[in-house]
Amino acid sequence: MQPTWKQDTKSANMQPRNLPQYEAAGAQCDGKHYQVVLRRTLTQATLVGLVLVVVTFAVVFRGSLSSEKEGFAQFKPPTEQTARDSIMLNILEANRIDALEGWLFATHARPNYTFVTVKVRVRNRGRDNYRLDPFGFSVFTNDGGRINTSLKTRQMNDALTAQVLAPAEEVEGFVVFEVPKNVRPSTIQIGGGAGIVAKANLF
Amino acid 14: pLDDT: 56
In a domain, 1, yes or no: no
Amino acid 189: pLDDT: 95
Question: Partners of 101 in the beta sheet?
Answer: 106
Domain that holds residue 25: 20-74
In a domain, 4, yes or no: no
Amino acid 17: pLDDT: 55
Mean pLDDT, the chain, whole residue set:
77
Using CA atoms, how far apart are residues 137 and 198, in angstroms rounded to an integer?
Answer: 9
| Residue 125 confidence class, pLDDT cut points 50, 70, 90 | very high
Question: What mean pLDDT comes out for the span 5-11?
Answer: 52
Lowest model confidence (mean pLDDT) among 71-75, 110-114, 173-177, 186-190: 71-75
Q: Are residues 49 and 134 in the same domain?
A: no
